[in-house]
Structure 1
Amino acid sequence: MVIKARIRSLWRNVVHRDQADQELDEEVRTYLEHLVMKKIGEGMRPEEAQRSARISFGGVEQVKEEVRAVRAGRFLEDFARDVRYGLRQLLRNPGFSATAITIAALGIAATCVVFAFADAATFRALPYQNASRLAAVTMADLKNNPNRSGVSVPVFLNWSEHAGKIGRFAAIYSPLKSKSLAGGREPMQVFDKQISPGSLKLLGASPLLGRDFLASDYRASGTDAVILSYSLWQQLFHSSPGAVGRAITLDGVGYTIVGIMPPNFLLPESSAAMEPACWTPLVFNAKQKSAAKDHSLTIFTRLGPGTSPEQAEVALRAIALPILNPTGARNRSEWRIQVTPLIRELVHQWRSILIFLFGAAGFLLAIACANVANLLLARANGRQNEIAVRAAIGASRGRVIRQLLTESAALGGVAGALGILLAHWGIEWERSVLPQWFQTANFEQMGIDPRILAATVAVSFVVGIVFGLAPAIHVTRIDLVESLKQSSTSVSLSKGRWNAQGVAVVVEIAFSLVLLTGVALMLRSFLKLEAVHPGFDPDQMLTMRVLMPKYRYPKPEDQIAAYQQVIQKIRVLPGVTDAAFVTPLPMAGINGTVGLPAQPGMSNAPANSKLGIGFHVVSTGYFNTMGIQLLRGRLFTLQDTHDSELVAIVDEAFVDRFWPGEDPVGKVFYPDYPKMKPVVHVVGEVDSVRDLQLWERPRPELYNPFTQHFFAAFAGSLVIKTRTPASTAVAVQQAIHSVDPEAPVSRIETMRDVLSLSLAEKRLYLWLVGVFATLALLLATAGIASTVSYAISRRKHEIGIRMALGARRSSVLFLMLGQTARLVLVGIVLGAAGSLLLTRFISSQLYGISPTDPLTFVSVALFLGLVSLFASIIPATRAASVDPAETLRTT
């Protein structure tokens, strides 16, 4: 009942305030009349009784104000009044308001852009229903191979049957080899991802057009149903709805399109590098159902209600152990099952860059807050008389601070609205500079949704309170008598308030130095990376991915002959100096590896497990085409066929690792090739190349000739040395299709483009942090200039006296510059200390340079110091040019 009464009172006092005031007036009048009549009854004359009643009652307006102060809703009434007053103050000083709002909006916009990026990288990357319950399930043999691996078919089927309330499971099989797709405008290479029954339903996803797979699509005799990705649908059928029901072929096998997935759909294990893609039903044969050692399935689960990942791990391990360690097995392994929520996987994947970006945006926001606080401190001094009058007539310090904070919050709210508009443009720019492998649906749809909007609004008002707090506290520390004696134009900065403005400048300089140091380190690192020689000659080099469909070349010899025919046709094209085949292409982001077990005669080989080494299959002429130098032995020839002994060429890093100081030519070793244990004879040694990343040291590499048949089923890349890469591309495609019209060709680019793409991530980070650092520098420069200008305006009288007493203009100039220099020096010292502590967090992004590089630190400090002094020269020069007589007359 009490709560209901309070609500009714709140409604009446807020919505019907005029009626409540009328009732209060009536109550006061009635009480005074009653008091007068009582005093008349006591023998007073009417005039005396009325006077006595008013004296005993007290001031009528004071009593009314006391009643209003205890009404429900008084806080809302005061808040609304404060907001109206604050907005009037903003309109009364449009120049000040525009400057403060713009500065705060820049900091808020930067934060909003980072919010949008983080949202796209994590939550938007999981476009599934109740994604927080989805988890990846992996296994690890702690005894023999501690790295996480996939799951075998028997274990998956056992989990699906016996897991019960633990969760529901889905399996994905994603062969690394692409397939040849025919049925569209031209042949294409696509990745066929096979999914178990109910996979899409488990994710809460459904096709944009058409239907999901039916139980009948999983018949053991084979299936002809396929679902296309959105990008594949666009490329093949120009987004035509009539694509559903059309026929296509994958490696010569006929399929019927039954559905098209939405544009933002990716399976949990997918990446943009595996696009375009299609999905077919995953059907297990009898052999696969008993293949307990083939851990090729990717498993994800939707955990049941109340089941934690830790509980699921224990339960799934118990179910799987009878299969993993059957009774009577001699070598029993120690298995670990790991259930990892998908959102945790994504956050871990993006952790370093998100920390980096949020840190940069936080520094920029802090600089903006310090800048606006400086402006508010300057304006607060001009309002000292107003604040003194308020305090003199009874306003408490808390009430004045609340009023000032409401004004700053209103400023923050307006800045937030402008910041959201700027963030929209910033997100558009950010989307335009994203590298190719970022161009997935979650980043293409990056924007300001209700969650990001709510977070930005919250930041705006928090920022408003933060930059208004220091001015509010300082301006209310006043001496009433002194403040009322002085006019608003004669009050000079008190020592405390000067310190507050000085602290704001120091904060701006320190944070700017941290950002600039980070950018300078990243820039120097990036320039060093661009100068790294990859170990081959990327100039005038054209590359393209090509696949000779296996269904058209069932015999390895036929496939080899087709590739060789293509290479010969390309070599005679105008402008082409050489051509060759390789898989995988160096620096293309594909990690080609082969296992190397421990064996006699090789030093530094792992004792109890296999070491993954780089592995490439190449044609004759590859090393000459790429400009890779032969150091010992010979290159591959056409005589290296499946009828001859298996041969290999190793690189210098391989020799240094396993045969240091020895001649590798003629040596024999036993790599762990798929499905066979061959004896390989080394026939040559070549220079090392950087295969995966420019910032990584060359790893041991093993090259095999593609003419030795057990490698022939690979798709690969053509590398073509040509003086005119752009014009040669069309002729090369024609040469390929003259050999096989159904051979799909994709990823046509120069080797320089491939290298540039390998640095795209670091280039993006440099761009983003560089923008933040540039804005920070501009804000810090503006803050210093405004602080010096304000200090000069407040000390104009003092400067006039100094010059009237004979001070030279140069001494006044150096006085003002000296004060700025002291603040800048303190800021640089603090910023350098902060940089020493924080730059270690970006050490993983640096190459060839220490995160505490002295040259970078000194250069950035000198640069920021010079910029800061330059920002103060103009106002300081203006101070030295004042007319003493005019100044003393007007102050």
Structure 2
Amino acid sequence: MKDIQFALRKLRKSPAFTFIAVLTLALGIGLNTTIFSLVNDLFLRGLPVFKDPSRVVHLMGGDKSRGLEDIGVSAPRYFHYRDGQTLFESIAAENFFLFTLTGLGDAVQVFGGRLTSNYFDLLGVRPILGRNFLPEEEEGADVAVVTKAFWQKRLGGDPNVIGRSITLDGMPHTIVGVIPNMPVTWFGANPVAEVWTTKPFQLPGFSYDRMMRGTSFLRVIGRIKPGMPLDQVKAGLPSLDQSYRTQYPNKIDSSLTSTVRTLPQDVTQNFRAGFITLFAAVTFVLLIACSNVANLLLVRFSGRRREIALRMAIGASRASVVRLFVFESVLVSAIAGLAGAFVAWRLVPLVPRMAANFLPFESNTATSVSMPVLLFTIGLSLLTGLLMGIYPALQGSHADLVDSLKEGGRGTAGSVRQQRFRKILVGAQVALSVTLLAGAALLITSFVRLTQQNIGFRTQNLWTGAITLPTSQYRASA
């Protein structure tokens, strides 16, 4: 306790050093905490709305010979999966859809999907109000399930919403349930869904016969049976594919092979590489900050050689001197950690607004610094303090008592070994900075070149739009 109090007094006596060291480390720790908060939300926290998401897989098709991968599943292949497999407890399908919502003010388009009736039951999503779809509603009922956000934003949080009607594509649909907001990562590049209906095998402009030719448009998920490893599921897919080719040789998707990916892998795979790069960049920033502060500490401890010599002359052990200096460096990093946590607390909510077009967040997504992130910040602060303080403390404790107590000692210059180490630290800072700047320059250059690619026509003064044809008014296919 006395060592900590002494370290505090020393830091108070050197406000310039304390301010520069804390500010430098706070920026590095704050950036790392911000990125870790996003990584925690996207990759580590999982899919909290779903039950046991590691047992849920996404089934896809592909054909390496034609360069096709991760494409949807056709209706006949889905029926074949559902009726002829022994790998899954259940299988469900979704057809992403863009609905035109009317009757609640101006007409707006809302993203959603048409589902098989067991979709939410398979995922383990429990409604906040009402219920999930029933089997008898899959093909013959105009019913809808909406998210909590839709319920609060568009329906005013009406407590009597169950049984209320909304108009989608000109057709009235009865709301039977309100579910929690789905994770934004669940929809990949698509907007976040707000409403779901049944009738997943009815495509506007497609007759039933045309749809059954093998057009791939469904997102199919399955829940693996308890105790069955994923490798066994993958091993069982080729036999399913072969039986499908034998039974339906003329389907346009008969040459496709099936693949599976677990939900945690599926919803984050497009963002892993980018976040690894981003995490590496902010780690470089923290290492630069650590080497900078370590250099300052080395100079600071070298300037206290006379104090160290006096302590050791009156009986202080080398370990106690090292402990005193390490406490000082850890104290600096702890204060910087508090400042970094504040920086992250202010930055994290801004990320969805600034990067909604690049990350799977809506601009109004509520993000905050959670307990795991705070624990990460504490651990990072302590590690930073030890990393930057241990070597300067060890070097500072190597005191020549006679030379250090003389007026003509080395003073703040330090030993040859210390000067060499300081040069190494400066070189490391330069190397890390150049690497970081070179990587940033390459990314910016690549981005600029992509934006300047010739796409075959002039884009100046051009607008794009879409015209929807409600199925209630245009039932016949073109």
> CA separation in 2, counterparts of 1:526 and 1:396?
58
Aligned residues: CA RMSD: 3.6
> 1:281 aligned to 2:198?
yes
Q: How far apart are 1:296 and its partner, in Å? A: 3.5
Instruction: Give the equivalent residue in structure 2 for 1:262.
Output: 180
Query: Could you say if the C-alpha distance between residues 535 and 151 of structure 1 is closer, same or farther in structure 2, counting changes exceeding 3 Å?
Result: closer
Q: How far apart are 1:319 and its partner, in Å? A: 4.8
1:366 pairs with 280, 287, 290, which one?
Answer: 287
1:546 pairs with 446, 467, 470, which one?
Answer: 467
1:149 pairs with 64, 67, 71, which one?
Answer: 71
> CA separation in 1, counterparts of 2:423 and 2:321?
24
> 1:203 aligned to 2:123?
yes
| Percent of residue pairs identical | 29
What SS class does the counterpart of residue 93 from structure 2 fall into? Answer: strand
What SS class does the counterpart of residue 263 from structure 1 fall into? Answer: coil
Instruction: Give the equivalent residue in structure 1 for 2:388.
Output: 467
State how 1:62-211 maps to structure 2 within 5 Å: 80-123=1-44, 126-127=47-48, 128-141=50-63, 147-153=69-75, 155-157=77-79, 159-160=81-82, 166-174=87-95, 178-211=98-131
What SS class does the counterpart of residue 552 from structure 1 fall into? Answer: coil
> CA separation in 1, counterparts of 2:476 and 2:212?
27
> 1:249 aligned to 2:167?
yes
The residue type equivalent to 2:73 in the other structure is V
Per the normalisation by structure 2, the TM-score is: 0.84
The residue type equivalent to 1:186 in the other structure is D
2:339 pairs with 415, 418, 422, which one?
Answer: 418
> CA separation in 2, counterparts of 1:431 and 1:347?
16
State how 1:412-811 maps to structure 2 within 5 Å: 412-436=333-357, 438=359, 440=361, 444-486=365-407, 490=411, 492-532=413-453, 534-554=455-475, 710=478
The residue type equivalent to 1:278 in the other structure is V
- Higher-Rg member (1/2): 1
Q: How far apart are 1:191 and its partner, in Å? A: 4.2
Q: How far apart are 1:498 and its partner, in Å? A: 1.9
**8 Å CA contact 1:408, 1:464 repeated in 2:** yes
Instruction: Give the equivalent residue in structure 2 for 1:561.
Output: none
What SS class does the counterpart of residue 127 from structure 2 fall into? Answer: coil
State how 1:341-380 maps to structure 2 within 5 Å: 341-380=262-301
What SS class does the counterpart of residue 138 from structure 1 fall into? Answer: strand
> CA separation in 2, counterparts of 1:240 and 1:143?
53
- Count residues with an aligned counterpart: 471
What SS class does the counterpart of residue 194 from structure 1 fall into? Answer: strand
> CA separation in 2, counterparts of 1:427 and 1:491?
42
> CA separation in 2, counterparts of 1:133 and 1:373?
47
> CA separation in 2, counterparts of 1:348 and 1:328?
33
Q: How far apart are 1:175 and its partner, in Å? A: 5.1
Instruction: Give the equivalent residue in structure 2 for 1:223.
Output: 141
What SS class does the counterpart of residue 235 from structure 2 fall into? Answer: helix
> CA separation in 1, counterparts of 2:78 and 2:103?
34
Q: How far apart are 1:295 and its partner, in Å? A: 4.2
What SS class does the counterpart of residue 477 from structure 1 fall into? Answer: coil
What SS class does the counterpart of residue 106 from structure 2 fall into? Answer: coil
> CA separation in 2, counterparts of 1:362 and 1:331?
49
The residue type equivalent to 2:342 in the other structure is L
The residue type equivalent to 2:197 in the other structure is T
**8 Å CA contact 1:175, 1:192 repeated in 2:** yes
Query: Could you say if the C-alpha distance between residues 104 and 327 of structure 1 is closer, same or farther in structure 2, counting changes exceeding 3 Å?
Result: closer
Q: Higher relative contact order by CA 8 Å / sep ≥ 6: 1 or 2?
A: 2
Q: How far apart are 1:305 and its partner, in Å? A: 3.8
> CA separation in 1, counterparts of 2:443 and 2:76?
49
**8 Å CA contact 1:120, 1:443 repeated in 2:** no
- Gaps (5+ residues) in structure 2? 203-207
1:647-693 CA deviation, whole Å, 9 max, x = no partner?
xxxxxxxxxxxxxxxxxxxxxxxxxxxxxxxxxxxxxxxxxxxxxxx
> CA separation in 1, counterparts of 2:215 and 2:469?
27
> CA separation in 2, counterparts of 1:409 and 1:489?
27
Q: How far apart are 1:347 and its partner, in Å? A: 4.0
**8 Å CA contact 1:168, 1:302 repeated in 2:** yes
**8 Å CA contact 2:74, 2:217 repeated in 1:** yes
Q: How far apart are 1:143 and its partner, in Å? A: 6.7
**8 Å CA contact 1:139, 1:337 repeated in 2:** yes
What SS class does the counterpart of residue 325 from structure 1 fall into? Answer: helix
The residue type equivalent to 1:140 in the other structure is G
1:46-69 CA deviation, whole Å, 9 max, x = no partner?
xxxxxxxxxxxxxxxxxxxxxxxx
Query: Could you say if the C-alpha distance between residues 328 and 439 of structure 1 is closer, same or farther in structure 2, counting changes exceeding 3 Å?
Result: closer
What SS class does the counterpart of residue 340 from structure 2 fall into? Answer: helix
The residue type equivalent to 1:281 in the other structure is T
Query: Could you say if the C-alpha distance between residues 185 and 313 of structure 1 is closer, same or farther in structure 2, counting changes exceeding 3 Å?
Result: same
**8 Å CA contact 1:159, 1:320 repeated in 2:** no
1:383-439 CA deviation, whole Å, 9 max, x = no partner?
212322333345443443233223322222221111100111222333332244647
> CA separation in 1, counterparts of 2:93 and 2:248?
29
**8 Å CA contact 1:160, 1:168 repeated in 2:** no
Instruction: Give the equivalent residue in structure 1 for 2:305.
Output: 384
Q: How far apart are 1:465 and its partner, in Å? A: 0.5
Query: Could you say if the C-alpha distance between residues 203 and 553 of structure 1 is closer, same or farther in structure 2, counting changes exceeding 3 Å?
Result: closer
Instruction: Give the equivalent residue in structure 1 for 2:205.
Output: none
**8 Å CA contact 1:143, 1:334 repeated in 2:** no
**8 Å CA contact 1:367, 1:508 repeated in 2:** yes
1:323 pairs with 233, 240, 244, which one?
Answer: 244
Q: How far apart are 1:294 and its partner, in Å? A: 4.7
Per the normalisation by structure 1, the TM-score is: 0.48
